[in-house]
Amino acid sequence: MSSIPEPGNPVRGSATGRPIMALLDLIGRRWTLRVLWELHRATGPLTFRELRARCDDMSSSLLTRRLHELSETHIVERATAGYTLTELGNALIDHLQPLTAWAEIWAADMKEASG
């Protein structure tokens, strides 16, 4: 199994590597969504140090690994001034927004149910 999830290749939870399963494997990795979120919130490219600081000083080796994975999958790119989301990465964030809204409703429901 490849270390970077790719559609069509076996990934965590899917022997067939359906595209949705490959995506969920990729974005479900520790710190990946945070990296994407911080790049999305930025007003321009972020240097490695800036991104690491925004991610609560996560380990530099893990950030390097996540940036490599996200670059290899065409979601993040290295610009002259730092890292930024690609057009595909921005589209992913746009598609995650409804899921974010659903999660807020779910959290409120869970809070209400507990008391």
pLDDT digits (tens, 9 = 90+) for 84-109: 999 999 999 999 999 999 999 999 99
Span 31-114: which CATH code? 1.10.10.10
The DSSP element (H or E) to which 76 belongs, if any, is strand 76-79
DSSP states along 90-115:
HHHHHHHHHHHHHHHHHHHHHHHHH-
Alpha-carbon radius of gyration of the chain: 16
pLDDT of residue 1: 40
When the pLDDT of each residue in the chain is averaged and rounded to a whole number, the result is 95
pLDDT in tens, 16-54: 999 999 999 999 999 999 999 999 999 999 999 999 999
In this model, does residue 2 exceed pLDDT 90?
A: no
